[in-house]
Structure 1
Amino acid sequence: MSRDFRKHADLFDRMATRVGVDLEQALFRGRLQPGDLSGAVLACTDCSDPQDCARWLDLSEAEGGPRDRPPGYCRNGDLLAALKP
């Protein structure tokens, strides 16, 4: 697995956690298919500014509490919104 793919998998997982989405539960309950998960990570790799995403995550994690939604530029914002409980 490439380092870039791993970096974006981590960013996507962190983003899901920040907006209150449990990816493991979504997979377990059938709300998210394994192919959808890898597709989301691939969409994340197309992000033009992953450093800004990482900064947003770092700041929001430092502030605590979940966020309602990822930043507007997130390529997976609609997917994450649909997966929210």
Structure 2
Amino acid sequence: MSGQTKYDEHAHLVEKMAEVLGVDLEEEAMAGRWTPEDMQDTVSRCLGCTEPSQCKGWLGSHDTGTDETPGFCRNKDLLEAMRARLVSA
């Protein structure tokens, strides 16, 4: 057993989803636009997803990047807003 918790699994999915959108969550945190509480809230929404395997499959087929989050993502609006801010900067 890897020792990975369900929370850790979903935290990784959030980070990977941000990454394929071109959003660097560490950079956002250093700039003060992303707090530990934001991460907890985002992972909590992700934990409510009933199909994390669908997310993993989608991420695997978009590992070179994309500019749109899948419709089933519970953090779609948040992540796309972050990406839009970066693109317009």
With structure 1 as the length reference, what TM-score do the two structures score?
A: 0.89
Larger Rg: 2
- In the alignment, is residue 82 of structure 1 matched against residue 84 of structure 2? no
Letter in 2 for 1:69: E
* 2:44 corresponds to: 42
Question: Stretches of 4+ moved more than 6 A in 1?
Answer: none
Give the Cα separation in 2 of the matches to 1:69 and 1:36: 20
Q: Is the contact between residue 31 and residue 83 of structure 1 (CA under 8 Å) also seen in structure 2?
A: no
| SS of residue in 1 equivalent to 2:32 | coil
1:2 deviates by 6.6
* 2:68 corresponds to: 69
What is the RMSD of the two structures over their aligned residues, measured on CA atoms? 1.4
Deviations 1:24-59 (A, max 9, x none): 011111111210111101110001110000000011
1:82 deviates by 1.7
Unpaired segments of 5 or more residues in structure 2? none
| SS of residue in 1 equivalent to 2:62 | helix
| SS of residue in 2 equivalent to 1:48 | coil
Report sequence identity in percent: 38
